[in-house]
Structures are given as C-alpha cells and as structure tokens.
Amino acid sequence: MGEKTLTRMDLSEAVFREVGLSRNESAQLVESMLEHMSDALVQGEQVKISSFGTFSVREKSARIGRNPKTGEEVPIQPRRVLTFRPSHLMKDRVADGNRKS
C-alpha cells in the first residue's frame, strides 16, 4: 500500500502523458479546473462529479465552543464549511484497493 503524496505536479504530469500538451499547459489546465470548482463552491453552488463525488457547502450556525485545554468558552461565528461526499464507485475502489489480502 502507498503512503505517497501526490500534488498538482503529478496531476499535470498525468494530463501531459494522456493528451500530449506541453507540461506548462497541462499544469494550467489542472489549475483552471480547481479554480472553476472553487469559484462555484464560493458562490454556494454544489459541485457534482459523477462517479467521483459531490462537494457541497453547508451553513453552520453560531455556537459556543470551548477551548479543550483551558476550558474557556469562546464564541464560534456562523460559517460556511465544505463537505465532500464520495461516490459509491470511489468508495468501492478505495475499499477494494486498500483491503488486506
């Protein structure tokens, strides 16, 4: 099993191998994918990629938090958080690929 960390570089390398654009252009395309997805999410839109998963933005209301170390109460402002729900296909592939044999 892995433990490696892939970065943007590895993704653009894959695009470079698959389509044969320049490395530079491949990198720009990966970046622009991430930007379009981020922009949609910031606008409160859901990003639903079939057979991959769904990114959605959830509104969390204000609450009183507590500093676990000092026990001190701190207000937590209302905020928006992003959640990712993997598709069944992704869940199955990740479960199968990491199963101890």
Partner 1 sequence: MIRSELIQKIADENPHLYQRDVERIVNTVFEEVTGAMARGDRVELRGFGAFSVKKRDARIGRNPRTGETVHVEEKHVPFFKTGKLLRDRLNGKQ
Note the residues at the interface with partner 1 (CB under 8 A): 1-8, 10-11, 14-15, 18-19, 21, 26, 29-30, 32-34, 36-38, 40-42, 45-53, 55, 57, 79-84, 86, 89-91, 93-100
- DSSP three-state, residue 43: coil
Residue-wise burial string across 61-98, b where 16 or more C-beta atoms lie within 10 A, e elsewhere: eeeeeeeeeeeeeeeeeeeeeeeeeeeeeeeeeeeeee
* Angle of the 23-42 helix axis to the 8-19 helix axis, nearest 10: 120
**Which one, 7 or 70, has the nearer CB to partner 1?**
7
**Beta carbon of residue 75, minimum distance to partner 1 (angstroms, whole number):** 15
**Beta carbon of residue 67, minimum distance to partner 1 (angstroms, whole number):** 20
**Which one, 8 or 66, has the nearer CB to partner 1?**
8
